[in-house]
Amino acid sequence: MALTEVLPDLHLFEDTCNVYILRDGDRALLIDCGSGDVLDHLSEVGIAAVDWVLFTHHHRDQCFGAHRLVEAGAELAVPRHERELFARASDYWQQKRIFDNYNDRSTFFSIGEDLPVRESLCDYETFSWGPYHFEVVPAPGHTQGQIALVAQIGGQCVAFTGDLIRAGGKLHELHAMEYDYGDFIGVHWTSASLAQLRKRNLLYLLLPSHGEAITEPSACLDELDGRLHRLLEHIPYRIGPAAGMRFAHEAPMAQLSEHLLWSDEVTCSNFYVIRADSGKALFIDYPYFSNGIFMQALHNAEAHATVRFIEHHLDELRDRWGVGDIDVVIPTHIHDDHVCGIPYLQRHCDTQVWALDQVAKVLQEPQAWNTPCLLELPIPCDRIFTDGERFEWEGFRFEIVFYPGQTEFHSAILCENLDGRRVLFAGDSSYPMERYTPGADGWMVNTVLRNSLTFGMHWKCADEFDRLRADFLCPGHGPVWDVPREAFAQHRQYVREKESLWREVLPEPAEPGVDLFWARLVPYQIQTRAGEDVEVVLELRNSFERPATFRVHLQGPDGIEITPKSREAQLAPAEKTALSWTLLAGELPADSRRHLLCAHIDVDGRPLGPVAEALVSAVE
């Protein structure tokens, strides 16, 4: 098969997929590689070597010949959200569930051998080679981690779209739209991805992985999106529409008052926008774009999978609401469904992050912590508050407090003068009972024990809810609520009843049966290099409801020297301390495999065994 010129310096090789060859002198960059047979034809257009292969997604037809390119000296760059399916593909097949399998994702079309991946292609970032600069645009649909690559070539804006779309406004495969058993969530993802491409309104050409080039991008995108809307109307229960039979990315913000906007339960968690008269905006959280898609991803059966952030609502805020500057974002707590969009705001909107100290310490170093719902990407914080600190922004007065209800790493933010109301942004910690039990009376503090909890933490929420006396609640999920006067006593009564019931089902002392993280090793993920020291700290909290003596020693993998052998602390009830050790790494295999480091703890002479753990891996 001969090469076909698409544009000057851009050629097509038709293989198991379309392989696109971009030339710079006698060097080349490929988009996908199929069988690798393209190597046999490059001399036809004066190409002597391939520097890079960029992949749009992980399916075998795109990459099964990649070893030929690697052997010829090419480097590989892959979508960040599918890196494991290239670099550790063999692990996927060892872990793949065969019986009782209700996972419909098309990861079954992965390669079988690991590839040496040089670089991850991260959403909304740029990959540069020679005179070309590729914008990495998220394009989930055909696969959850698929990307499109947009670049200026020959003076034209070209998008390499993988298997997102085919000529004539078609999907490449309908079965790829199933993610969980029997759903069609891929349709929802695909519509959102088409919208991302539509924002690049100067597109000249779409180059798909299969079929002919798309020479009228706008019309083709609209044609497929119209067909996806008709599918949505036909089987909404399998796709998950927003109100009004729309896809989530099409749902507008709701105006709660002159200066306060809300995402109206469409996004996976609520986010709020306080608009200043100056055109600046302050965000409370910035989540995944769709609640329905988040719930699907939440129960993903595949160990490598990540949830995907796609930019949303920013055009509307600019065009409809006059927001010219997203000045500040304040995360209520650490969970990824609330903070996943913050790195985008930092990189592309120059937004500052302000956070409570107990939230900031986890956001800034997520690899150090063992707690649910963590975002992998670190989020540097520009301003860090202490509990109860007051501040102003654009004439609005705030107080931020430690509010450890749904998670230990949680805040609540009160705006004292928001359009005549005292508005409390309480994250996931406080709700009316009706949120979970329709028709029920009362108010509650939300509970997930795995997020770290003591009885005292929920009393802190009750005390702050009572003291702050908000008259309007903006929670992390569900509708917004007026706060009646009786809510404060009901909230406190709920905490009292909860503690009583929990103590009733637990032996004394009850708190260790609630407080999963009374002992916590930090950092949780430890990378070692031979001959280098690493400090590890045991954060210890006396939840035994009596004065107690703790004796601790660490046990790690062979090849790790631990100093000192043991540490001891005497703590009053609820008192905290931090005990430190030094790890000196020997010759562990630098294979990125995790090895267990455990803290063995005796309390008042009684051995409790290896209570807390951290993960040690060696790097070169």
User: Going by DSSP bridges, is the β-strand pair 280-284/325-330 parallel, antiparallel, or unpaired?
Assistant: parallel
pLDDT tier, 296 (very low <50, low <70, confident <90, very high otherwise): low
CATH at 306:
3.60.15.10
CA distance 568 to 549: 7
> Crossing angle for the helix pair 185-199 and 217-234, nearest 10 degrees?
150
Q: Mean of the pLDDT values across residues 446-474?
A: 96
Residue 101 belongs to a domain:
yes
Examine the domain organization and report whether 527 and 500 are in the same domain.
Answer: no
Examine the domain organization and report whether 218 and 263 are in the same domain.
Answer: no
Contact call for residues 184 and 238 (beta carbons, < 8 A): yes
Element (H, E) at 52: strand 49-54
Examine the domain organization and report whether 210 and 255 are in the same domain.
Answer: no
Examine the domain organization and report whether 583 and 495 are in the same domain.
Answer: no
pLDDT tier, 575 (very low <50, low <70, confident <90, very high otherwise): very high
Percent of the chain with pLDDT over 70: 97
Indicate if the pLDDT at residue 299 is higher than 70: no
Which tens digits make up the pLDDT trace of 366-418?
999 999 999 999 999 999 999 999 999 999 999 999 999 999 999 999 999 99
CA distance 222 to 216: 10
Q: Mean of the pLDDT values across residues 216-239?
A: 95
Q: What is the DSSP letter of 124?
A: T
Residue 492: φ, ψ to 5°: -65, -40
CA distance 219 to 201: 11
Q: Which residue range is the domain that position 577 belongs to? A: 518-618
Q: How many domains does the chain have?
A: 3
Which tens digits make up the pLDDT trace of 74-94?
999 999 999 999 999 998 999
Indicate if the pLDDT at residue 470 is higher than 90: yes
Tell me the pTM: 0.95
CA distance 134 to 150: 5
* Residue whose C-alpha is closest to residue 495's, from 457, 467, 468, 469: 457
Examine the domain organization and report whether 589 and 482 are in the same domain.
Answer: no
Residue 460 belongs to a domain:
yes
Q: Mean of the pLDDT values across residues 226-254?
A: 92
Residue 569 belongs to a domain:
yes
For 389, the 3-state DSSP assignment is strand
Q: What is the largest CA-CA distance in the chain?
A: 81
49-54 β-sheet, strand order: 4-7, 10-14, 18-24, 27-31, 49-54, 75-79, 117-121
CA distance 229 to 569: 63
Examine the domain organization and report whether 173 and 58 are in the same domain.
Answer: yes
Element (H, E) at 153: strand 147-153
Examine the domain organization and report whether 401 and 306 are in the same domain.
Answer: yes
For 140, the 3-state DSSP assignment is coil
| Secondary-structure breakdown of the chain: helix, strand, coil percentages, each rounded to the nearest 5 | 25, 35, 40
Examine the domain organization and report whether 359 and 452 are in the same domain.
Answer: yes
Q: Mean of the pLDDT values across residues 48-76?
A: 98
Q: Mean of the pLDDT values across residues 454-462?
A: 96
The confidence score (pLDDT) of residue 590 equals 61
CA distance 309 to 306: 10
The confidence score (pLDDT) of residue 243 equals 83
| Contact residues for 423 (Cβ-Cβ < 8 A; gap 6+) | 260, 414, 415, 470, 471, 472, 473, 474
Which tens digits make up the pLDDT trace of 577-595?
999 999 988 766 666 688 9
Contact call for residues 89 and 112 (beta carbons, < 8 A): yes
Domain edge (last residue) among 472, 505, 538:
505
Examine the domain organization and report whether 19 and 139 are in the same domain.
Answer: yes
pLDDT tier, 551 (very low <50, low <70, confident <90, very high otherwise): very high
* CA distances to 5, 52, 129, 216, 607 from 28, in Å: 14, 7, 10, 27, 63
Q: Mean of the pLDDT values across residues 193-218?
A: 95
The confidence score (pLDDT) of residue 588 equals 64
Average pLDDT over the chain, rounded to an integer: 94
Quickly list DSSP for 545-604.
SS-EEEEEEEE--TTEEEESS-EEEEE-TT-EEEEEEEEEE-----S---EEEEEEEEET
Quickly list DSSP for 253-281.
PEEEETTEEE-TT-SSS--EEEEPTTSEE
Three-state SS annotation for 534-547 = EEEEEEEECCCCCC
Domain edge (last residue) among 473, 505, 537:
505
The confidence score (pLDDT) of residue 291 equals 83
CA distance 506 to 249: 46
For 531, the 3-state DSSP assignment is coil
Domain edge (last residue) among 470, 505, 540:
505
For 437, the 3-state DSSP assignment is coil
Residue 321 belongs to a domain:
yes
Contact call for residues 579 and 538 (beta carbons, < 8 A): yes
525-528 β-sheet, strand order: 525-528, 606-618, 595-603, 548-555, 567-571
Partner residues linked to 53 by β-bridges: 30, 76
pLDDT tier, 300 (very low <50, low <70, confident <90, very high otherwise): low
Q: Which two tokens stand for residue 535?
A: 């400090």
Which tens digits make up the pLDDT trace of 522-534?
999 998 888 889 9
Examine the domain organization and report whether 86 and 154 are in the same domain.
Answer: yes
Any long-range contacts for 362-368 (C-beta under 8 Å, 24+ apart)?
A: 362/334, 362/409, 363/331, 363/334, 363/339, 365/523, 367/523, 367/524, 367/525, 368/522, 368/523, 368/524, 368/525
Q: Which two tokens stand for residue 61?
A: 């037809």
CA distance 74 to 62: 16
Q: How many CA within 13 A on the CB side of residue 187?
A: 26
CATH at 594:
2.60.40.10
* Residue whose C-alpha is closest to residue 338's, from 543, 475, 163, 516: 475
Residue identified by tokens 């719902």 is 373
Element (H, E) at 344: helix 342-349
Residue 243 belongs to a domain:
no
Q: Where are the alpha helices (DSSP H) in 408-486?
A: 455-468
Which tens digits make up the pLDDT trace of 12-46?
999 999 999 999 999 999 999 999 999 999 999 99
pLDDT tier, 186 (very low <50, low <70, confident <90, very high otherwise): very high
* Residue whose C-alpha is closest to residue 381's, from 320, 448, 334, 437: 334
Higher-confidence position of 98 and 506: 506
Q: Which two tokens stand for residue 376?
A: 């992998």
Contact call for residues 472 and 480 (beta carbons, < 8 A): yes
Residue 245 belongs to a domain:
no
Examine the domain organization and report whether 407 and 459 are in the same domain.
Answer: yes
Examine the domain organization and report whether 147 and 218 are in the same domain.
Answer: yes
Contact call for residues 89 and 111 (beta carbons, < 8 A): yes
